[in-house]
Amino acid sequence: MLPGRAPAERAGARPHSSHPDRLRGPRDGRQWSLVTDPSDIARPPRVILLTGPSGSGKSRLSARTGLPVMRLDDFYKEAGDPTLPQLPHGIGVDWDSVRSWDADAALAAVRDLCAKGTTTVPLYDISLSARVGTETLTLDGAALFIAEGIFAADIVSRCHELGLLADAICLRGRPTTTFRRRLLRDLREGRKSALFLLRRGWRLLRAEGAIVQRHRELGAHPCARDEAAERIGRLRAASGARTPM
C-alpha cells in the first residue's frame, strides 16, 4: 500500500503464540521458504509477518484473526526525506520501493514487542506522507502477533535470525481483483490524487506477478486468503488458551 493510514483505521491488538521456524534451503541458490510447524512452538511472543501486493487484503485478514496487529506501513519515510526514491520523469516518490520504508525502525519495533510485550509505533497519514503522532502497542500477554505490510518480507530473514519468526505469509489473488480493491480503497480514503492512483494501480497490476515472486524469494509463503487463515489458525490452536477469540 501507499504509506500509512488515517489513525482511525487502526485495529486493536490482542493475544497469541509462536514457534521456532525452519527454513527450507535454497533450491536455486536464491530462493527459500519458511516451513511452519506449530508443534515447534517454543518461547513466546513471536511474529507472523504478513505481506502481499497492495490491496491483497492483508489488513482485513489481520483484523479477522483477533491477534495483535502491527501496521508496518506506518514506518514509511516522510515527505522531504532526501533518501526517498523517485519515479521516472520526476512524477513523484516511488512509495512501492522498499527504499521508501524504514526497515530498521520496523524491525526494532518488532524486536521490542517480542522482548518487552510493548513498543511505541508511529502513526502515518498517507495523504500527508507524514507521521502525525505515535501510539503504544501492547500485547497484554499475547504469545503471537501479526506485523503486516507490503514490505514485511524484507525483514523475514532478520526476524528469523533473531529467533522472532513464527511464520511469513504472502497474500495473493487475482491481479484484477487486487487492482479494483486497491483503487477503490485509495480513492475512498483520498490517499493521493486520482491520476497518481490510476497510474500507480496500472503499474502494480502489471508488476503483481514479480512482486509475489520477490516476496517468495525473501522467504514468505505465497497463498490465497483461506490458506493464510488456516496457517494462522494452526498457530492459534497450538497456543491454546493463551489466545482469546
**10-residue stretch averages of pLDDT, the chain, 245 residues long:** 39 35 38 48 80 87 93 95 88 88 97 96 91 95 93 97 95 80 74 74 79 94 94 84 41
Residue 93: predicted pLDDT: 87
Report the run of H or E that residue 243 belongs to, with start and end.
Answer: none
Residue 213: predicted pLDDT: 93
Residues paired with 71 in a beta bridge: 148
Q: How far apart are CA 205 and CA 201, in angstroms?
A: 6
Q: 223-235, pLDDT tens digit by residue?
A: 999 999 999 999 9
Q: Give the residue extent of every domain in the chain.
A: 7-242
Name the CATH topology of 7-242: Rossmann fold (3.40.50)
Q: 28-39, pLDDT tens digit by residue?
A: 444 444 444 555
Q: Which residues contact 235 (CB under 8 A, 6 or more apart)?
A: 16, 17, 18, 19, 36, 38, 41, 48, 144, 166, 167
Residue 10: predicted pLDDT: 39
**How far apart, in Å, do the first and last CA atoms of the chain sit?**
28
- DSSP codes joined into one string, 137-168: EE-TT-SEEEEESTTGGGGHHHHHHTT-EEEE
Q: How far apart are CA 20 and CA 189, in angstroms?
A: 38
Q: Which residues contact 70 (CB under 8 A, 6 or more apart)?
A: 13, 47, 109, 110, 113, 121, 137, 145, 146, 147, 148
Residue 205: predicted pLDDT: 74
Residue 43: predicted pLDDT: 62
